[in-house]
Amino acid sequence: METTETMESILSLANVSWRHQVRDFSTWKPWAKRDGAGIHSINLKINSGTIIGLVGPNGAGKTTLMRAICGLYECDGFNKSAETRRACIGYMPEQVRWEGRITVSQAITSISLMRNSTTDVENLIRTVGLSSKSNQLLDNLSQGMRQRLSLACALIGSPKMIVMDEPLNGLDPLAQRAFSNLLKNLAKKGVAIVISSHQVGDLESLVDEVALLHRGQLLINGTLEEIRKSLNLDDDSGIVEMICSATGIEPHDISLDLSDDGMLPFRPLGGEEE
Amino acid sequence: MNTLSLGMHIMKERLTAGRMMVIWPLLAMFILFSSWGLSDPKVNLPASIVIDSAYDVMFVATAFIIFSATLGAVLIAFDGISRDRLSGVLEIKLSQPIARSKFARALLLGHWGAIFIPVMVLNIASILVIWYRLDDLPSTEEVFIHTLGTGLLLLWYTSIQLIASSWAKDLGASIAVGLGVWMVFTLLWLVLTTVVAGLSGVGVDDLNSAEYIQIDAIMDLFSPNGVYHHLLEIPLDDVDRGMSPLYVCIAAILWSIVPVYLFTRRIERLHP
């Protein structure tokens, strides 16, 4: 991997905030909305050739941050406009259920038209291992194949940065390995990758840096070593220990109870709710 | 350029959708059979409607176009956005660099074309049927106005349905809004017109009175089906409901601009 000094900054975030608008139904104002969960004052620098893992408990704001990075929400604080970001970022959302009576290659062509790209569709299909399914209807694809199709869409137009939300879900172990290799190769070519995954074992071996989110805030980010040092953790401690240490949750006390505000889906048993 | 290409792509996708297996026969039955029946020289129509030319047949047959083609537009466009939203594909589409306004135009073009092409194919076939039965053809001007009116009517319904599809969080809500709008304009507008006439002090016991016809003509400007009929009445010499063609054209332009503008604004602000 290149050193941080020599790497080109692809995107920087300074105090990026976004709140979802949720319905606040009342008899007299059934259309009323109020601020809901979101992300708050996120500062992050994304360099070329770096794989950043976004980690955090459910509801921490990982998907919201990814959508903001990809220009899906209008928020300030980026050094590039939403249009510019959309042009240079390939986005792979979580668990897209492709369906319809069009073929895989037609679906990719449709997205490449929206990128105004002249990508070699067949080559892209080969890259993600869908050659045998090129002319298959979307309705007939398995979820793993749909994941590959989403990946193909993220790769259209050779983006400088790829953002992936839970990309390993639905992939068989061999495909997961191939997927990791592909990401490493892309990073070697200078593509910046932001990835979120709850399969932290795979993530630890893949990422160069980790950004830990909790309740919409970026608690800590850096290489695994840097974070271990900051949190005074052992050398063999992993991402789960980092999350627990940074959020104050004890690993043996984790429950699935939801908090009332929906922003902290689990809380320490017997402890005070944050 | 990519707006047109994308629109054609969406149109092709919609034209090959499974629901077209239902829409094609329905349209064929309504448009072709009505033209066949109405062009029978012995046909005896109610309300003293007299048919003595090919365009007269086309004009009366538009009642069936209004009933079937507008429903077809609703059925084609109801999941134009809501299905992509539910499946997650919308997130991928909205993250692409294409300008949202261009994306909106491509969606409109694609969905409108998917209903306009079948309707026009059947309209051409119905002209041939009328020619065979009546040995008369409509003039170029009449065909132009009929085609323009039908195209605009389908555009209005498509844009309204796509707005509903972008609002709806699920497919049921989308089709409920679309069918609701369709029912109001297609089935309930006469009731609404009668209520407005009654409230205005116009007697509703005689629907052929001059006052009622005037109210009916004004109310028609507020309904896509009504504006469509106003447009089609322009070449007819024996039909005059006292509405200036200028007002009809203004209403047609407003019906074309307002829903399309609202839809474009909606897409520009749309979140996945």
pLDDT at site A240? 82
pLDDT at site A251? 65
B13 and A106 within 8 Å at the Cβ level: the answer is yes
Which of A31, A110, A118, A155 is the best residue to mutate to test the B interface, defined by the most B CB atoms within 10 Å of its own CB?
Answer: A110
Buried b (16+ CB within 10 A) or exposed e, A22-52: eeeeeeeeeeeeeeebbbeebebbbbbbbbb
B95 and A71 within 8 Å at the Cβ level: the answer is yes
Residue A8 is given by DSSP the state P
Which of B96, B98, B169, B268 is the best residue to mutate to test the A interface, defined by the most A CB atoms within 10 Å of its own CB?
Answer: B96
Closest alpha carbon within chain A to B83:
A99
Residue A271 has pLDDT above 60, yes or no: no
Question: What is the percent of chain A where pLDDT is above 90?
Answer: 53
Q: What is the pLDDT of residues A181-234, one digit of tens each?
A: 999 999 999 999 999 988 777 788 899 999 999 989 999 999 989 998 888 888
Inter-residue contact B186 to B98 (CB < 8 Å):
no
Higher per-residue pLDDT: A1 or B170:
B170
Chain B CB within 8 Å of residue A94 CB: yes
pLDDT at site A88? 94
Instruction: Tell me the chain B residues in contact with residue A113 when contact means C-beta distances shorter than 8 Å.
Output: 2, 5-6, 9, 98
A83 and B97 within 8 Å at the Cβ level: the answer is yes
pLDDT at site A108? 95
Domain-wise residue ranges, chain A: 9-95+160-253
Inter-residue contact A257 to A271 (CB < 8 Å):
no
Tell me the ipTM for this assembly: 0.86
Residue A269 has pLDDT above 60, yes or no: no
Place A73 in a pLDDT band, splitting at 50, 70 and 90.
very high
Q: Kind and range of the H or E element at B36?
A: helix B20-38
Q: What is the pLDDT of residues A8-60, one digit of tens each?
A: 889 999 999 999 988 888 888 888 888 889 999 999 999 999 999 999 888 88
Sequence-ordered strand ranges (E) for B197-248: none
Closest alpha carbon within chain A to B87:
A97
Instruction: Tell me the chain A residues in contact with residue B167 when contact means C-beta distances shorter than 8 Å.
Output: none
A113 and B9 within 8 Å at the Cβ level: the answer is yes
A110 and B89 within 8 Å at the Cβ level: the answer is no
β-sheet bridge partners, residue A38: A19
Chain A CB within 8 Å of residue B107 CB: no
CB atoms < 10 A from the CB of B14, how many?
A: 22
Minimal C-alpha gap between B5 and chain A (Å): 7
pLDDT at site B237? 79
pLDDT at site A231? 86
Chain A CB within 8 Å of residue B101 CB: no
Closest alpha carbon within chain B to A96:
B88
β-sheet bridge partners, residue A45: A12
Higher per-residue pLDDT: A271 or B264:
B264
Q: Whole-angstrom Cα distance, residue A97 to residue B88? A: 6
Minimal C-alpha gap between A114 and chain B (Å): 5
> Widest CA span of chain A, in angstroms?
59
Q: Whole-angstrom Cα distance, residue A68 to residue A74? A: 7
Place A274 in a pLDDT band, splitting at 50, 70 and 90.
very low
Closest alpha carbon within chain A to B80:
A100
B92 and A99 within 8 Å at the Cβ level: the answer is no
Q: Kind and range of the H or E element at A36?
A: strand A33-47
Place A268 in a pLDDT band, splitting at 50, 70 and 90.
very low
- Classify domain A9-95+160-253 at the CATH topology level: Rossmann fold (3.40.50)
> pTM for this one?
0.88
Minimal C-alpha gap between A271 and chain B (Å): 36
Size of interface A-B (CB pairs under 8 A): 79
B13 and A116 within 8 Å at the Cβ level: the answer is no
- Which candidate from B2, B9, B271 shows the least CB-CB separation from A73? B271
B91 and A109 within 8 Å at the Cβ level: the answer is no
- Average pLDDT of chain A is 86
Q: What is each CA distance from A155 to A186, A191, B34, B64, in whole angstroms? A: 10, 11, 52, 48
Instruction: Tell me the chain B residues in contact with residue A95 when contact means C-beta distances shorter than 8 Å.
Output: 88
Inter-residue contact B5 to B11 (CB < 8 Å):
no
Q: What is the pLDDT of residues B46-81, one digit of tens each?
A: 766 778 889 999 999 999 999 999 999 999 999 999
Closest alpha carbon within chain A to B16:
A101
pLDDT at site A264? 45
Closest alpha carbon within chain A to B270:
A72
Backbone angles phi, psi at B76, to 5 degrees: -80, -35
Instruction: Tell me the chain B residues in contact with residue A109 when contact means C-beta distances shorter than 8 Å.
Output: 9
B94 and A97 within 8 Å at the Cβ level: the answer is no
Instruction: Tell me the chain A residues in contact with residue B87 when contact means C-beta distances shorter than 8 Å.
Output: 96-99
Length of chain B: 272
| Spans of chain B, pLDDT less than 70 | 1, 47-48
Instruction: Tell me the chain B residues in contact with residue A106 when contact means C-beta distances shorter than 8 Å.
Output: 9, 13
Instruction: Tell me the chain A residues in contact with residue B21 when contact means C-beta distances shorter than 8 Å.
Output: none
Any idea which of A9-13, A133-137, A245-249, B53-57 has the lowest mean pLDDT? Answer: A245-249
Minimal C-alpha gap between A252 and chain B (Å): 35
pLDDT at site A178? 87
The residue with tokens 């070699």 is A120
Residue A168 has pLDDT above 50, yes or no: yes
pLDDT at site A164? 96
Structure tokens at A269: 């048993």
Minimal C-alpha gap between B104 and chain A (Å): 12
pLDDT at site B221? 95
B13 and A100 within 8 Å at the Cβ level: the answer is yes
Residue numbers of A between 50 and 79 with CB closer than 8 Å to B: 67, 70-73
